[in-house]
Amino acid sequence: MPDATGQNLQVAQDALQAATNDPYFISFSEDATSADRAQTLDSGWVVCSQDPAAGTAVSLDDDVTFFVVRVSEECP
């Protein structure tokens, strides 16, 4: 699992797909604030944290979640 912290959500998703050699690897994202906002435009969000952690081996059976805020916001 690549370290996506501080990256644009779209870039983080692309890096995950490249690392797994699977252009169809599906990841999830969640608002890192308590606002529960949907991430409709991935390039408008920045990764604050991720699960699993960077350096962890992942497979297609694993759920990968990026916790994000809008690019204009600070991570909580």
Cα separation, 2 vs 54, whole angstroms: 5
Per the domain annotation, does 17 fall within a domain?
Answer: yes
Taking residues 36-58, report their average pLDDT. 96
Taking residues 39-51, report their average pLDDT. 97
Per the domain annotation, does 22 fall within a domain?
Answer: yes
Per the domain annotation, does 4 fall within a domain?
Answer: no
What is the average pLDDT score of the chain? 94
pTM: 0.93
With 90 as the cut, is the pLDDT of residue 48 above it? Answer: yes
| Total of domains in the chain | 1
Domain that holds residue 15: 9-70
Per the domain annotation, does 61 fall within a domain?
Answer: yes
pLDDT at residue 20, rounded to an integer? 87
Sign of the alpha-carbon torsion through 8, 10, 15, 20: positive
pLDDT at residue 53, rounded to an integer? 97
Per the domain annotation, does 1 fall within a domain?
Answer: no
- SS3 at position 65: strand
Taking residues 30-56, report their average pLDDT. 96
Per the domain annotation, does 63 fall within a domain?
Answer: yes
